[in-house]
């Protein structure tokens, strides 16, 4: 445990951190990649360019300092980051590299406020936290390897199928090259793929939600073509059935956890429906006896993925209901057939189907999820019954 003096010094640096803001972590990443360019093969450089990752890291550092006396409140944050790290195959020795650059950044940007005592305190605090991550990640790596069909590190998979789901979403069925089984996962989790783009200098690791129930033989991911997204466009345009990709074991802390008596509401926008699809298929596969509600929002018909699949499942399962919002229907979209409501998702339109004691899972753009959270609170849903996933660097709603 950290001693009282170290805790006191860390807390005294909170104003310094807040005044520096994300500029602190932006400098950190610039320094890190300058001195250790090999780590560009580990970090998602697209998130660096967008600025999302420096902001996420700053928020994490600030939260650590503010909760240094009660680290238990950061348990969910630690678990989410540890799960992410295993998808990037983070190693214990990399923590020492990161810690060195973090302390150097504090010294370079902090001026006279960063004394030797401050650096020593942050060195101890960082080492304490790093050890928590190292231990938790070791547990995850071991569990991934020991589970039936599991493995450690990288494994080669073949794209056995490539299916168009909408104008912007394509699904990929991935089967292991060695022909052996694959480990089960909990719906909501993701796969990490390592890819080499001919126009990019570094290997790129991307994490994509699994979009089907576990079957022990293969995995399915469903990828949105992002404007300017070189890796997503590589998957859509260049990789075909028969090509091979490198895959790390399933991971993630966004997981379907319900008991038979719990109603479930799955809420999504755009490609955020991919983890919801995994959850839905698992619930139906297990013949979940309570009500299941599927709520989805997208722009219009051409980008509406899995539309026919959801319609078919609704016909087959009497406890499944679905409602769809199109923000701007096109002339070919038919109200009552392709979609149910025009505009942005308003839960008040289906409030009678939304039990406060249900478990709510939602995924989509940050603005969408923030609006959904507020609407659920208005409907009396407890915060502990809400679970959400952010694609990319985490952000609070």
Q: Which residues belong to the active site?
A: 95, 137
Q: Which helix (H) or strand (E) holds 370?
A: helix 366-378
Q: Which pair of tokens denotes residue 9?
A: 């010094």
Q: Which of 286, 292, 353 is nearest to 318 (CA)?
A: 292
Q: Max alpha carbon distance in the chain (Å)?
A: 69
CB-based contacts of 52, cutoff 8 Å, min separation 6: 392, 393, 395
Tell me the three state secondary structure of residue 158: strand
Q: Is 128 annotated as a binding residue?
A: no
Q: Is 315 annotated as a binding residue?
A: no
Contact 187, 248 (CB under 8 A): no
Q: Is 208 annotated as a binding residue?
A: yes
Enumerate the H helices of the chain as residue ranges: 4-12, 14-20, 23-35, 45-50, 52-66, 75-87, 92-110, 116-146, 230-237, 273-285, 307-316, 366-378
For the chain, report the end-to-end CA distance as a whole number of angstroms.
Answer: 31
Q: Is 275 annotated as a binding residue?
A: yes
Cβ-count burial of 107 within 10 angstroms (0-12 exposed, 13-18 middle, 19+ buried)? middle
Q: Is 209 annotated as a binding residue?
A: yes
Q: Is 85 annotated as a binding residue?
A: yes
Q: What's the rounded Cα separation, in Å, for the pair 66 and 7?
A: 10
Q: Which of 102, 96, 141, 136 is nearest to 119 (CA)?
A: 102
Q: Is 206 annotated as a binding residue?
A: yes
Q: How many CB atoms lie within 10 A of CB 298?
A: 27
What are the φ and ψ backbone dihedral angles of 159, each rounded to 5 degrees?
Answer: -75, 100
- Report DSSP state, residue 335: B
- Quote the radius of gyration of the chain (alpha carbons, Å): 22
E-assigned strand segments in 311-368 = 320-326, 341-342, 359-363
Look at strands 169-176 and 219-224 and give their pairing: antiparallel
Tell me the three state secondary structure of residue 76: helix
Q: Is 156 annotated as a binding residue?
A: no
Q: What's the rounded Cα separation, in Å, for the pair 356 and 85?
A: 34
Q: Is 271 annotated as a binding residue?
A: yes
For the annotated binding site, the residues are: 85, 190, 206-209, 270-275, 390-393
For the annotated binding site for FAD, the residues are: 190, 206-209, 390-393
For the annotated binding site for NADP(+), the residues are: 270-275
For the annotated binding site for heme b, the residues are: 85
């Amino acid at each position: 445990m950290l001693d009282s003096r170290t805790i006191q010094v860390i807390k005294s640096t909170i104003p310094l951190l807040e005044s520096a803001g994300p500029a602190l972590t932006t400098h950190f990443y610039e320094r890190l990649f300058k001195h250790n360019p090999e780590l560009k093969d580990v970090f998602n450089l697209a998130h660096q360019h967008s600025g999302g990752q420096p902001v996420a890291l700053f928020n994490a550092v600030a939260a650590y300092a503010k909760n240094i006396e009660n680290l238990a409140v950061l348990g969910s944050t630690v678990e989410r980051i540890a799960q992410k790290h295993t998808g990037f195959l983070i190693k214990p020795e990399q923590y020492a590299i990161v810690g060195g650059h973090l302390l150097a950044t504090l010294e370079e940007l902090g001026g006279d406020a960063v004394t030797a005592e401050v650096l020593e305190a942050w060195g101890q605090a960082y080492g304490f936290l790093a050890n928590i991550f190292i231990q938790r990640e070791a547990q995850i790596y071991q569990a991934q390897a020991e589970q039936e069909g599991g493995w450690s590190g990288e494994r080669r998979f073949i794209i056995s199928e490539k299916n168009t789901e909408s104008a912007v979403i394509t699904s990929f069925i991935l089967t292991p090259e060695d022909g052996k089984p694959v480990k089960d996962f909990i719906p909501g989790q993701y796969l990490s793929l390592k890819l080499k783009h001919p126009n990019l200098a570094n290997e790129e690791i991307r994490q994509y939600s699994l979009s089907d129930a576990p079957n022990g033989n293969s995995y399915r991911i469903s990828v949105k073509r992002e404007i300017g997204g070189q890796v997503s466009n590589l998957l859509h345009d260049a990789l075909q059935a028969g090509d091979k990709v490198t895959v790390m074991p399933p991971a993630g802390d966004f997981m379907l956890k319900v008991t038979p008596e719990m109603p479930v509401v799955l809420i999504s926008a755009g490609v955020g429906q991919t983890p919801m699809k995994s959850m839905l298929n698992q619930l139906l596969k297990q013949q979940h006896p309570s009500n299941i509600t599927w709520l989805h929002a997208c722009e219009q018909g051409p980008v509406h993925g899995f539309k026919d699949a959801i319609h078919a499942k609704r016909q087959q399962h009497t406890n499944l209901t679905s409602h769809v919002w199109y923000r701007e229907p096109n002339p070919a979209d038919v109200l009552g057939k392709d979609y149910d409501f025009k505009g942005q998702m308003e839960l008040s339109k289906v409030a009678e189907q939304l039990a406060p004691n249900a478990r709510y899972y939602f995924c989509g753009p940050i603005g969408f999820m923030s609006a959904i959270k507020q609407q659920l609170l208005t409907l009396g849903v407890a915060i502990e019954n809400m679970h959400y996933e952010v694609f990319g660097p985490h952000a609070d709603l």
